Amino acid sequence: MDLDGKHIVLGLTGGIACYKAAELCRALIKEGASVQVVMTEAAAQFITPVTLQALSQRSVYTSQWDAREANNMAHINLSREADAILIAPCSADFMAKLLHGNADDLLSLMCLARPIESVPLLLAPAMNREMWAHPATMRNVAQLRLDGATVLGVGVGEQACGETGDGRMREPAELLHDVIAFFQPKVLAGQRVLITAGPTFEAIDPVRGITNRSSGKMGFALARAAQEAGADVTLVAGPVALATPQGVRRVDVQSAQEMLQACLLHMDSAQVFIATAAVADWRPQVSTDQKIKKDGSGQAPLLALEENADILATLAQSARAQSGALFCVGFAAESHDLLAHATAKRQRKGVPLLVGNIGPATFGQDDNALLLVDAQGAVDLPRASKLSLARILVREISQRLPGAPL
């Protein structure tokens, strides 16, 4: 569980989005966190403390005069126990209070009294679109960020008032991702990462083509892990049925030629290239505009193939890669003799790091086992979830980048 051992103080301020806080509380706990809910008087007008108590399995705090604290210092005690304070929803009024250091209720008092260096403050704004766009709110958001708070993004869509636009609180699943990502080490902060994922589809006719069983899950996990690690990520995806990882820029392609063109377009701004896609080695020389029909002869039509360009080798042999400005990582999906094939492929492609796996054992699965091969040898990463392996691989890559500490 991604939040195992973390203790989150979940603060609720007044707003209709309080109903989402119930689901967020449950989601945080399912990821292993313990959650202490603190509500303002206004929040209790939208959702009862009883609801949050049932979900968090902890008594909810609403008053700075709560008699349960022997020293009558709930604002001190609660903040010192927290790994983070998450205010969701965070109203425009509450952000203004935080900015000026006002502390007239338990939640604002606790935020002011928290040790800034060890207890981060995360804010999930929720308000009407005009309130969000107001210059005063924008100034407050900018200053809160300068003061060290992490102001999360807002959602776009229909609002309770009937209007449509920016300002609504993001969905619980999105906020859960933000919290998980916040705690991940930012080992790729400032880096731009280009990743390919999934299969390619080489059309024979409008309904048939050459492809493979790659699901794209490993590449998408790597895109998420790199984004969590602070990178600006562009994901070039073949035809897969996967949701785009939050915060990741996605470019959809079909064929190997389209994937190569997308990579060439984005490589000049990248410092890291990770080629996880299972690119088809060949494509039909001719793709017909109409479906090829059986003619009753019992003979299959002759399918002439030509070789696709090698995307990994093309980028690895580019001037940017050769100068060290682009760090290239390859993947090898093999059916047998993984170490031998992966070692040979690394040398043939000319990349500093090659990641091997047994394709039939991982295609479509949520877990994987990897073999990392570089000039010093090979290291096994035992079977684990693809996201867990992706986070390990991201750390391995970060340690190999120019300027990384030894």
pLDDT tens digits, residue range 145-187?
Answer: 999 999 999 999 999 999 999 999 999 999 999 999 999 999 9
Contact, 10 vs 175, CB < 8 A? no
Q: What is the DSSP string of 131-156?
A: HHHSHHHHHHHHHHHHTT-EE---EE
* Helix-then-strand count for the chain, H and E: 15, 19
| E strand residue ranges, 146-286 | 150-151, 155-158, 164-168, 192-197, 202-203, 209-210, 232-237, 249-252, 272-275, 282-284
Indicate if 161 belongs to the active site: yes
Strand (E) or helix (H) holding 123: strand 121-125
CB 245 within 8 A of CB 226: no
Task: Give the Å distances, CA to CA, from 189 to 133, 150, 185, 226, 233.
Answer: 29, 16, 9, 9, 11
Q: Which residues contact 297 (CB under 8 A, 6 or more apart)?
A: none
Residue range 230-269, pLDDT digits in tens: 999 999 999 999 999 999 999 999 999 999 999 999 999 9
pLDDT (0 to 100) of residue 294: 86
pLDDT in tens, 128-153: 999 999 999 999 999 999 999 999 99
Cβ atoms of 35 and 8 closer than 8 Å: yes
Q: Which of 18, 25, 90, 161 is catalytic?
A: 161
Q: Which domains does the chain have, with CATH numbers?
A: 7-183 (3.40.50.1950), 192-400 (3.40.50.10300)
Ramachandran quadrant class, 324 (left: phi over 0; alpha: psi -120 to 50; beta: rest): left
DSSP secondary structure letters along 32-78: T-EEEEEE-TTGGGTS-HHHHHHHHTSPPB--TT-TTSTTS-HHHHH
Neighbours of 229 (CB within 10 A): 23
- Mean pLDDT computed over every residue of the chain: 95
Distance of alpha carbon 164 from the chain centroid: 27
Does the pLDDT of residue 211 top 90, yes or no? yes
Max Cα–Cα distance, the chain, nearest Å:
92
Terminal Cα distance for the chain, rounded:
30
Give tens-digit pLDDT for 66-94: 888 888 898 999 999 999 999 999 999 99
In whole angstroms, give the CA distance from residue 356 to residue 218: 12
Instruction: Give the tens place of pLDDT for each residue, 336-395.
Output: 899 999 999 999 999 999 999 987 778 888 999 999 999 999 999 999 999 999 999 999
Q: Give the pLDDT confidence score for residue 67 in this predicted structure.
A: 82
